[in-house]
Chains A and B, each alone.
Chain A
Amino acid sequence: MSLIDLSAAELVAQLRRGDVSSVDVTQAFLNRIAAVDKTINAFLRVDADRALAAATKIDERRARGDSLGLLAGLPVAVKDVLCIVDEPTTCASRMLERFAPPYDATVVAKLRSADAVFIGRTNMDEFAMGSSGENSAFGPTRNPWDTERITGGSSSGSAAAVAARMAPAAIGSDTGGSIRQPAGLCGITGLKPTYGRVSRYGLVAFASSLDQVGPMARSAEDAALLLEAIAGHDPLDSTSLDRPAEKYSETVSRPLEKLRLGVAKEHFGEGLDGEVAAAVREAIRVYESLGATVEEISLPHSRYAVATYYIIAPCEASSNLARYDGAHYGHRTDEKAMLAELDTERKALVAVGKKEAADDLDSPLVRMYRQSRSEAFGSEVKRRIMLGTYALSAGYYDAYYLKALKVRRLIRQDYDEAFAKVDLIIGPVTATPAYKIGEKADDPLAMYLDDVYTVSANLAGCCGIAFPCGQSTGNLPIGIQLQGSPLDEDKLLRAANMYQQTTKLHSSTPPV
């Protein structure tokens, strides 16, 4: 068995015992990246020298007998949405193409103190806006199971990197399903923690009240290891929950007794692919065979979830992305050309006697803003900024944003009521397996509807995990989702692990 086929937990164990060196492990994954990433495009940047230097240092410290962190020597891929000091952090946008933050995100700092090796920065939908991975300014990521197909998004690169064995584990972020959905479509395990469980400090904000950072790995066991390293209270994030991180990696192997699963009837309605429905129902039977009881529940407001999400997320995004104005950092339009153009426009208007129109032309500052943003943002980002700006405008605020907040509260109440009866909610993570690249490119609404099973957890602040539960006739992974009450990550991981220990479905590998 090659090193790249080992699980993160196994690699950490071997590293700890000294069976392998971090340099060997890192090199193995670097080789794999070199071999397949031209096809997959999971990584935006890989700095082999830097990774190997970090690995060398950890090996040296281990040789000296220093005490090392939880992930010592394990390569981890990081979505390009988390700040790493003095390294480009682009959010797959032209806007931040040459931006290198002067500080580490808290999650990055935690991974550093756990002695993880940063192997590369993963591709994503621009500013985490998208459900296919196609919205990257640097090209779409391709699904390792079928390179004609999407990976899902927005954590496209992290999902593909883990699925294609280019990294044993990766960090993603999930605002409306961006960890769980690509995990489902790429056949890996991805966990969106409870809002506030993992610090958002240094996570480039998309929608602040929904964003969460989480682990993406090959199994629940590996995800537990990663979550343990990154979770915990952070005084730099006021929305961070003041609760210590749990020892997920130690508890994940303990099966849950008397597990009560809820099945929401709303999850099995129109639009759900037959094969997906069948795979999910089969998984439910597996749980029953493991002693779980299954109860039908209702999440009556879940049908408003997508609409609610696509008000709240763009509203927050329109404000969060205002800072990219070309004035302080990031892309700025060529000012000389811009001023010349402005001058030409003015002269042309004056020449035909349209003096008023000439006076109404943009000021140089406004033109600089307008042009810098027009040039550097992709169309989906612009669409969401416009949606949000509109919805927050005077006269529309009450009808859209305020209303959405009220519905959000109802959605949360649905969950509270459900979790009074069951431990976890089980259901699909996507309606269909991965579709072809370009298939929904002209239909943003269809793409928004892909988020139907995942956005509710973000709106309610719950946690959720996605992992493979079968394959379609086209050999594409089918995912399943478990959702848990706030701070029930431990239950999610243990339940997923029970399933994975029984079915071993998570260990199928893609053909790439």
Chain B
Amino acid sequence: MVENRTIKTAQLKVGMEIHVELSTRSKMFSRSANVAHPDHYDATPNTLVDPVVLGLPGALPVMNRAAIESSIMVGLALNCSIAEFSRWDRKNYFYPDLPKGYQISQYDLPLCFDGELEFIGANGQPQTVSIIRAHLEEDTGKLSHDISCRHGSMHVNALNQSLIDLNRAGTPLLEIVTHPDLKYADDAVIFCQELRNVCRFLNVTGGIMQRGHMRFEPNVNVIITTDEGKQIATPIVEVKNLNSFKAVKGAIEHEFNRQIKQWQETGLEMGAGMKSTRGWDADRGVTVLQREKEDAHDYRYFPDPDLPPVVVTEEWKQSIATCIPELPQQRRRRYVDEYNLTDADALTLTTDFDVSNYFESCIDMLQQRTTSDMTAAHMGKTVAKLLLNAGARRANEHHRELHDLGVTPEQIAQLIEMREANTIGSSAADELFDLLCEHDADATTLAESCGLLQVTDSAQLDSWIAQALEAEPEAAANYAGGKDNALGRIIGTIMKLSNGKADAKSASDQIRRQLRDN
């Protein structure tokens, strides 16, 4: 009998494993400089090494306290419990990027466990992903197989050898593992972005995706409900080593479709030891099988006898907790509460660490400079409006982030002050924003030299009004006869005549007085 494999519904189920390279000064277990620290991003291959990194005979690991503190900080930010006692285990396997033949990791006693991260899902609703654990380990080195491309001058012999770069070996790596709480690829991406954001707010990683500072490994399967109402889970697939959000989305979506198709063809369901590993082929947009279940490694974990356990006292934990800065979620709430921003605007201003910091700096600058009686709430709201309108438009046009437009927080503050003092009109302000993207000069000076300052001088204004009323007699008559909307045409003409420098409000008042008030 042929099984009925008609699908009524199919629900995606995704858990994430996220590797975060910590940007500490030295490596996890040695004094060698860390390639994930900004000072060493582009170090020459195999220069960030010492006997410990090279796994030389007799070399011994010594733990990096800063890496442990960074990890605890992430753990606390993710509402994790911090283990009072955790330890180091050896994960044994052979590979040329692993000079010791084992990786020092944490197996059954991770440093952080049982946490959660809340984020705003693709549907605009808050949702929560549970964190199973976050443990520390050391990164491996890197192999380059494509020798001719990366090392053009290097001699390549007939054996088709690979080259090893151990600069990354021993970099502190925090591995965060979630429950399979995610149901949509888009949400998985937002979750990953939020996690990156949290880590960047905490300043524990550079978070540069292209440099592999964060690597994502989704565990994907699909819960299928058949026409007959039977629920079936497809075998879990782990997609390895994704280092862009695009890849995370692409790989999960592809797996969703592939697993449904595979089930329809084979009827294969999830079972013990069925997990397989796949890689992401970005060019073809497909996942590719890397390891079948039967090849599963036996890593022969055991406690590393070279390292004492990590004991975290309440005191130590508290002192780390006090170093945690305001996190994106808290910032978001504050923007809504204090600045009266909408949820959506608050989200936009907090989903990127640099943008958020830029926004904060602009407000700070305005607070420092201003002599007006603007309230803090008003300042926040005004800066947000400027950045989300004029700023966001330029950012879109230039394919840049807000903070990267070349406008300094000081210039932003000056611009807002000018608007508040009504010395510049709205369209001139917009024009000035463009100029600020290109110039380092003081905003006031720039506005002045470019003739963007508003003209409130009544003689000049009177002359433009007179010219406009003469040019638009019909509109003038209509306005005088009570048609308010006729005023727009007149003001428009005045703005044209003045090259936008006329103060529209003063002009309107003057016209009203002239045509109606007598």
Residues of A within 8 A of B (CB): 82-83, 89, 91, 96, 99, 101-103, 105, 200-205, 207-209, 235-239, 315-316, 318-319, 321-323, 325, 327-329, 335-336, 339, 365, 369, 389, 392-394, 397, 401
Contact = CB atoms under 8 A, between A and B. Distances in A.
A323 B56 CA distance: 8
B492 interface: no
Given A236-B62, A335-B159, A89 B57 contact: yes
B300 A393 contact: yes
Given A319-B101, A327-B164, A397-B302, A392 B58 contact: no
Given A235-B62, A238-B63, A393-B298, A322 B100 contact: yes
A315 B58 contact: no
Interface stretch (B90-98, B412-420, B448-456, B495-503): B90-98
Interface string B270-312: 0000000000000000000000000000101110011110000
Contacts, number: 102
B102 interface: yes
- Residue among B55, B164, B301 with the highest chain A CB neighbour number at 10 A: B55
B99 A323 contact: yes
Given A322-B94, A389-B300, A238 B306 contact: yes
B4 to A, nearest CB: 35
A202 B58 contact: yes
B60 interface: yes
A201 B63 contact: no
B96 A102 contact: no
Most buried by B among A89, A105, A205: A205
A201 B308 contact: no
Contact of A325 (B57, B58, B61, B101): B101
Contacts of B59: 201-202
A393 B62 CA distance: 27
B473 interface: no
A371 to B, nearest CB: 13
B58 A319 contact: no
A205 B307 contact: no
Contact of B58 (A204, A209, A235, A238): A204
Contacts of A369: 94
Interface of B: 51, 54-63, 90, 92, 94, 96, 99-102, 159, 164, 298, 300-302, 305-308
Nearest to B158: A336
B62 A238 contact: yes
B84 to A, nearest CB: 19
Given A101-B51, A392-B300, A322 B101 contact: yes
A329 B57 CA distance: 10
B306 A394 contact: no
A239 B102 contact: no
A501 B394 CA distance: 92
Given A209-B305, A239-B308, A83 B57 contact: yes
A241 B306 CA distance: 13
Contact of B300 (A89, A236, A319): A319
Nearest to B299: A394
A392 B55 CA distance: 21
B159 A105 contact: no
A322 B61 contact: no
A457 B64 CA distance: 31
A306 B63 CA distance: 32
B63 A319 contact: no
Contact of B57 (A96, A207, A239, A336): A96
Contacts of B56: 83, 101-103, 329
Contacts of B301: 392, 397
A205 to B, nearest CB: 7
B157 to A, nearest CB: 10
B58 A83 contact: yes
A82 B57 CA distance: 9
11 contacts: A82-B58, A89-B57, A91-B57, A202-B58, A202-B59, A238-B60, A238-B62, A315-B302, A325-B94, A365-B96, A397-B300
A311 to B, nearest CB: 11
A397 B89 CA distance: 14
Q: Give the interface centre of A204, A323, A325 by most chain B CB atoms within 10 Å.
A: A323
Given A102-B51, A208-B306, A238-B307, A200 B159 contact: no
Given A322-B92, A323-B99, A365-B96, A328 B55 contact: yes
A120 B329 CA distance: 65
Contacts of B62: 235-238
